[in-house]
Amino acid sequence: MALVVQKYGGSSLESADRIKRVAERIVATRKAGNDVVVVCSAMGDTTDELLDLAQQVNPVPPEREMDMLLTAGERISNALVAMAISALGAEAWSFTGSQAGVITDSAHGKARIIDVTPGRVREALDKGYIVLVAGFQGVSQDTKDITTLGRGGSDTTAVALAAALNADVCEIYTDVDGVYTADPRIVSNARKLDTVPFEEMLEMAAGGAKVLMLRCVEYARRYNVPIHVRSSFSDKPGTIISGSVEELSVEQAMITGVAHDGSEAKITVTAVPDHPGVAAKIFRVVADAEIDIDMVLQNVSGTASGRTDITFTLSKTNGPTAVEELEKIKDELGFESVVYDDHVGKVSLVGAGMRSHPGVTATFCEALAKAGVNIEIINTSEIRISVLIRDTQLDEAVAAIHEAFNLGGDEEAVVYAGTGR
């Protein structure tokens, strides 16, 4: 008997009919002889509706209460799925994140999981129940207050439970058939991947592939939990995320896929005095505002002027704050100006094979040149190349690279509507 953890997103649960279909799949998994733990997101629009209500009573709602409010959404969907399972003659118990032992820090709205103590979940499984756990939520170790995990939180809940329960697999049900060589909405012959090693999936997620959030893949890799990404609208096998790139045989594809990200912005601090410690101060100011940066570029200093430009990328959400913080130290550091540009896009090529194939970077750049795409910043890891370009050229860049590395398949990719949290 295997232990399967399944996670269903909001679009898979947006109506009573979809909830019934999800229940059928859960009961089928149980009847096939598995122990089943299910993590559900909030139904379709519930979260947006609750956010809207909050805005009406307070434009800057306190985070503790926001978490109390939003976690009601998963509570509702879980209870409804449990009822739908019961209507099919099986027995299910639902638990809140707190009841399921999802212990977090106290950072409301973006809490991190510290520990999972699933005693009640294990007990219910031992009694023969299907167990439902509200995703996206936990309880603070220090204050015992309800917390939420932020974006991708339900996926992380599922992986964390799978790790704590030593599950055989964590199935993430979503609105695509799996992980593709590129976004099927942009590249119509994008090919579904059967397996992707953890490291490559990490690079794909960091590069902007939305099918799984970075933190969820990090968690799965750390605890070695195989993830099966698949569609809740079909029975086809999806993509298995597991194993290390070290285990790949030489015959396996050297390039995995193309990821893209239109959510970043670029900040350039111009004419920075080129002496030790100035760059460090710039990045310290940004870090102190709790802002993550992605790519960094420092031009070679003009020897005559003794000044240089420092460029970096960050999430658009954090752009205004970063600019504000940098303006504050302008006089102290003596740089010229802060230039903000939110019309950039990032394209990444990921594949373990590129470590041993020196021609990859050349082919990559040639493909972009041929498509008339100008590269603004280039950044690489052992198994990834990323470039920053104009956002208007994002789609054609993805298509050109996908084509240059022959990543396409013979079938048209299937895309379903909606997206979960």
Comparing CB distances to a second copy, the nearer of 96 and 379 is: 96
Q: Is 340 labeled as ligand-binding?
A: no
Tell me the residue type at 87.
A
Comparing CB distances to a second copy, the nearer of 67 and 183 is: 67
Please, what is the Cα angle at 87 between 82 and 90, to 5 degrees?
70
Comparing CB distances to a second copy, the nearer of 96 and 299 is: 96
Q: Is 392 labeled as ligand-binding?
A: no
Q: Cβ of residue 415: shortest distance to a second copy, in angstroms?
A: 27
Give the other-Cβ count within 10 Å of 283's Cβ. 14
Comparing CB distances to a second copy, the nearer of 135 and 197 is: 135
Q: Is 180 labeled as ligand-binding?
A: yes
Q: 200, 245 in Cβ contact below 8 A? A: yes
* Residue 371 token pair: 């498509």
Comparing CB distances to a second copy, the nearer of 57 and 300 is: 57
Comparing CB distances to a second copy, the nearer of 57 and 304 is: 57
| Beta-strand runs (E) in 42-145 | 92-95, 102-104, 113-116, 130-134, 137-140
Q: Is 270 labeled as ligand-binding?
A: no
Q: Cβ of residue 84: shortest distance to a second copy, in angstroms?
A: 4
Characterize 72-100 residue by residue with b for buried, 16 or more Cβ atoms within 10 angstroms of its Cβ, and e for exposed.
ebbbbbbebbbebbeeeebebbbbbbbbb
Distance CA 174, CA 155 (A): 10
The residues of the shown chain that bind a second copy, judged by CB under 8 A, are: 16, 19-20, 23, 50, 53-54, 56-62, 64-66, 68-69, 71-73, 75-76, 78-84, 86-87, 92-94, 96, 99, 120, 144, 146
Q: Cβ of residue 45: shortest distance to a second copy, in angstroms?
A: 13
SS3 167: coil
Q: Cβ of residue 179: shortest distance to a second copy, in angstroms?
A: 31
Comparing CB distances to a second copy, the nearer of 132 and 176 is: 132
Which residues partner with 252 through β-bridges? none
**Beta strand 130-134 pairing with 137-140:** unpaired
Q: Cβ of residue 124: shortest distance to a second copy, in angstroms?
A: 11
Q: Is 175 labeled as ligand-binding?
A: yes
Nearest residue to 342 (alpha-carbon basis) of 261, 258, 259? 261
What is the DSSP code (8-state) at residue 194?
Answer: S
SS3 24: helix
Comparing CB distances to a second copy, the nearer of 63 and 168 is: 63
Q: Is 153 labeled as ligand-binding?
A: no
Q: Is 104 labeled as ligand-binding?
A: no
Q: Cβ of residue 142: shortest distance to a second copy, in angstroms?
A: 13
Comparing CB distances to a second copy, the nearer of 11 and 189 is: 11
Tell me the residue type at 258.
V
Give the other-Cβ count within 10 Å of 169's Cβ. 17
Q: 346, 260 in Cβ contact below 8 A? A: yes
* Residue 161 token pair: 């439970």
The position carrying tokens 């979809």 is 18
Q: Is 223 labeled as ligand-binding?
A: no
Distance CA 3, CA 6 (A): 10
Q: Cβ of residue 46: shortest distance to a second copy, in angstroms?
A: 10
Q: Cβ of residue 114: shortest distance to a second copy, in angstroms?
A: 19
Distance CA 378, CA 229 (A): 30
Q: Is 321 labeled as ligand-binding?
A: no
Q: Is 129 labeled as ligand-binding?
A: no
The position carrying tokens 């999972």 is 116
Q: C-alpha 140: how far from its chain's center?
A: 23
Q: Is 219 labeled as ligand-binding?
A: no
Q: Cβ of residue 76: shortest distance to a second copy, in angstroms?
A: 5
Known binding-site residues equal: 7-10, 47, 74, 174-175, 180, 185, 210-211
User: Annotated binding site for substrate, which residues?
Assistant: 47, 74
Annotated binding site for ATP, which residues? 7-10, 174-175, 180, 185, 210-211
